[in-house]
Amino acid sequence: MAGPKRFPDRDAIADVRAATDALEAGGDLEETRRLAGRVLARREMGKLVFFDLVDRSGRIQLMCDTGRIGGVDVLLGDVVGVSGRPAKSRRGEPSLAVDELTVLARNSRSLPDTFHGLTDTETRYRKRYLDLLMNDDSRELFLLRTKVVSAIRRYLDGEGFIEVETPVLQPRYGGAFAHPFVTHSNELESDLYLRIATELYLQRLSVGGPARVSAIGKDFRNEIVSYKHQPEFTMLEWYEAYADFRDTMDRIETMLEQVALDTLGTTIARFRGRRGRPARASSRSGPSCRGSRRTPRTTRAS
């Protein structure tokens, strides 16, 4: 029998964890919170059954007293909805003391090792959904990428760029030296090419009048495949009238700095565990939407 499809009025796990910060070990709150997510761990101690529940905001422990709520028929990987009181276990673990538990969807296949996560490299690349499900770092990187794209759009919008979509199927390919993917239109009875760059159509739009145009879109290049080089990738491209390469250099530096601050809160990056150093202050002033000169920065993205 299928579970219910709706579980409205949910809280984020991160919010419930935050609500337990002021509690002493073994304490709880009187308020009721509702959570939904996937069960990734199960532990039993007498009449107490503990689950780890995960959603996009984090992980929390569920404390189920079977003497009070009855038996708990939950398997690893099941999607459940729960309601209960924010609490801390006797060991100080942020938890939800469950009053009611509903199985929303059953998991039909066994999960990888839920303690170590998904570690096989090839499986991680071939089954990204499992990687996202099992590995916290992969989920954080997935969400970070979304924030980066949103921050880029905010910056370009604020600078007066018009974001447009350009054709993916093109009668002639161009804008870069690359081999295209070829497909065929039955209606037109002709071959078409997947775009290898957004360049040419953005340039035509610039001829039509808009002084600043941009696009974030998929490009396709029928070339070598490796873990560093994919035939399908996302590219950001923009064109700006009344500016030269010096203005573009300065704009990309400004954009990267702003995106880093918006998404990470700092311009200092870590790569393979090593912390970068801030570069020297920039002495150039870049273009703004109103034509005024920008105040020199004190740091640049590393």
User: What does 125-165 look like in DSSP terms, one character per residue?
Assistant: HH-HHHHHHH-HHHHHHHHHHHHHHHHHHHHHHHTTPEE--
* Predicted local distance difference test score (pLDDT) of residue 3: 67
For 73, the enclosing helix (H) or strand (E) is: none
Specify the pTM: 0.78
> pLDDT tens digits, residue range 175-227?
888 999 999 999 999 999 999 999 999 999 999 889 999 999 999 999 988 87
Residue 282 in contact with residue 296, Cβ under 8 Å? yes
Q: How far apart are CA 113 and CA 47, in angstroms?
A: 25
The mean-pLDDT minimum among 79-83, 125-129, 246-250, 253-257 falls in 125-129
Among candidates 110, 106, 37, 33, which has minimal Cα distance to 73? 106
Higher pLDDT, 266 or 109: 266
Position 52: which residue type?
D
Instruction: Note the pLDDT of residue 113.
Output: 72
| pLDDT: which is higher, 70 or 96 | 96
> Could you read off the pLDDT of 122-155 as tens digits, one per residue?
888 888 888 888 888 888 899 999 999 999 999 9
Q: Which residues contact 123 (CB under 8 A, 6 or more apart)?
A: 112, 130, 131
Tokens read off for 278: 């801030």
| pLDDT, mean over the chain | 87
Please determine, for residue 230, whether its predicted confidence score (pLDDT) is greater than 50.
yes
Running DSSP on this structure, what letter comes out for residue 116? Answer: T
Residue 273, pLDDT > 80, answer: no
Beta strands in the chain (DSSP E): 33-45, 48-55, 58-65, 79-88, 94-105, 162-163, 169-170, 182-185, 190-194, 212-220, 232-240, 270-271, 274-275
pLDDT higher than 50, residue 294: no
Residues 231, 223: contact at Cβ < 8 Å?
Answer: yes
pLDDT reading at 297 higher than 50: no
Distance CA(210)–CA(272), nearest Å, equals: 42
Sequence-separated (6 or more) residues with CB below 8 Å from residue 102: 3, 4, 7, 80, 81, 82
